[in-house]
Amino acid sequence: MEIDTGSALSCISKTTYEDTFNHLPLLPCDLALNFYDGTKIKPLGYCEVNVTYGRSSKVLDLYVINNGTTTLLGRQWLSELDISVPKFNVNRLNESAMNVSYAVNELFSSYAELFDGGLGRFTGGRARLAVRADAAPVFCRARPLP
């Protein structure tokens, strides 16, 4: 299993379920999961598995995904089994990051009028927006952040 703190649940592929856990009943679930890229998928179901970690033993839900590849250990299991994940410092400053920062600052100073915080005005020509006569406005809510 691969620890994934971005995953709320622990998941396995259908193939792993059939090879390892097929003796456990696959229970229905009403969840829809979101991948990191926004893709939604409905699990095939879940099975209840006996999990032992250290001196702790629990029955936990393991979700089965049709096209899953990597077996993921999600936050629910990490919490239930009291597994602590070390924090890694991934915000390292290197020379290339400093060069990018310098380049961005150069752009800001070269084109200061674009970044002054006020509204601008398009003066580069005419714009035309064609809308069908029977078009209805559509409201799309903002995508929630994790």
In the chain, at which residue ranges do the beta strands (DSSP E only) sit? Answer: 2-3, 11-13, 33-34, 40-41, 45-53, 56-65, 72-73
Tell me the mean pLDDT in the region 75-96: 74
Most confident of 4-8, 46-50, 112-116: 46-50
Q: Dump pLDDT digits (tens) for 105-121.
A: 888 888 888 878 777 77
The span from the CA of 95 to the CA of 3, in Å, is: 31
Range of the domain at 26: 2-80
The span from the CA of 129 to the CA of 142, in Å, is: 24
Q: Dump pLDDT digits (tens) for 94-108.
A: 555 556 677 788 888
Averaged pLDDT of the chain: 83
The answer to whether residue 142 sits within a structural domain is no
The answer to whether residue 100 sits within a structural domain is no
Q: What is the pLDDT of residue 99?
A: 60
The answer to whether residue 50 sits within a structural domain is yes
Domain count, the chain: 1
Q: Which residue has the higher pLDDT, 122 or 108?
A: 108
Q: Tell me, what CATH number does 31's domain have?
A: 2.40.70.10
Above 80 in pLDDT, residue 69? no
The answer to whether residue 105 sits within a structural domain is no
The answer to whether residue 10 sits within a structural domain is yes
Q: pTM surpassing 0.85?
A: no
Tell me the mean pLDDT in the region 51-64: 92
Above 80 in pLDDT, residue 36? no
Q: Which residue has the higher pLDDT, 25 or 106?
A: 25
Q: What is the pLDDT of residue 19?
A: 92
The answer to whether residue 103 sits within a structural domain is no
Q: Which residue has the higher pLDDT, 146 or 105?
A: 105
The answer to whether residue 55 sits within a structural domain is yes
What are the backbone angles phi and psi of residue 141, rounded to the nearest 5°?
A: -75, 155
The answer to whether residue 122 sits within a structural domain is no
